[in-house]
Amino acid sequence: MYWQHIWIAFQTIYYKEVRRFLRIWPQTLLPPAITMVLYFVIFGSIIGSRVGEMGGFSYMEYVVPGLVMMSVITNAYSNVSSSFFSNKFQKSVEEMLVAPIPNWVILAGFVAGGVTRGLLVGLVVTLLSLGFADLQIVNIGVTVIAVLLTAIVFSLGGFINAIYADKFDDISIIPTFVLTPLTYLGGVFYSVEVLPELWRHLSHANPILYMVNTFRYGLLGYADGINILFSIGMLVFFSILLTVYSLRLLNKGKGLLH
């Protein structure tokens, strides 16, 4: 009976999260798709024709994995950060905290919702990319692991952001000043091998570089000099670390009651 109650609680939170972003799909699913199509046209077709090849692939083929991962990162993060903060703002988090369910179920429900949105948007972008590039999945295992763990990591990051946020403006600070720069400097549009030595070494301190290139390896078999096992290990480590930290914040009630 205990695990049945746990499962019902998880389903309730998860279904609520999924219904929330599906109900307003013109705001949650359509804009990322349109944005990525513009990236495909501008960076892939127009600029790509002048760049030529990168990493032994056409420029369009090279940037597609990075753009897919960028959409997954952005949507997984924003879904959890905005949703959980809304629950804080509306005081509905208090109802969940007094309910007879463990805090890890609350965390799992919100994170699963963010992962679902991130993967769904990633799938839409991937399908749209087929109209611009001929993609062949070289290693489906690496592809799935990379995109799933990345969605989990950034869903957890969005959860932590929402816990610390005191107002709606606070949930846009990290995406604007941290995620966007790191994503654009994470090898989405270029190979780090073409950078000067100093900037190449600095780029290797960017965790998004490893996520993008692990996914790129799964699709194209090219990782831009990145060690795939190290990258997957890093994703697992960050998933565990952020999970433990998120649960600690929940258990302490950090930023939840005002």
Asked whether residue 70 is domain-assigned, the answer is yes
Q: Is the pLDDT of residue 37 over 90?
A: no
Asked whether residue 71 is domain-assigned, the answer is yes
More confident residue, 167 or 80: 80
pLDDT in tens, 65-79: 999 999 999 999 999
Asked whether residue 222 is domain-assigned, the answer is yes
pLDDT of residue 203: 86
- The H or E element spanning position 139 is none
Distance between CA 188 and CA 40 in Å, rounded?
12
Q: Is the pLDDT of residue 193 over 60?
A: yes
Lowest mean pLDDT among 15-24, 48-57, 195-204: 48-57
Q: What is the CA radius of gyration of the chain?
A: 19
Distance between CA 166 and CA 85 in Å, rounded?
9
Domain count, the chain: 1
Asked whether residue 170 is domain-assigned, the answer is yes
- For the whole model, what pTM was predicted? 0.93
Asked whether residue 257 is domain-assigned, the answer is no
What is the domain range of residue 16? 2-252
pLDDT in tens, 89-116: 888 888 887 888 899 999 999 999 999 9
Asked whether residue 258 is domain-assigned, the answer is no
Distance between CA 201 and CA 118 in Å, rounded?
29
Q: Is the pLDDT of residue 225 over 80?
A: yes
Distance between CA 207 and CA 239 in Å, rounded?
13
Asked whether residue 54 is domain-assigned, the answer is yes
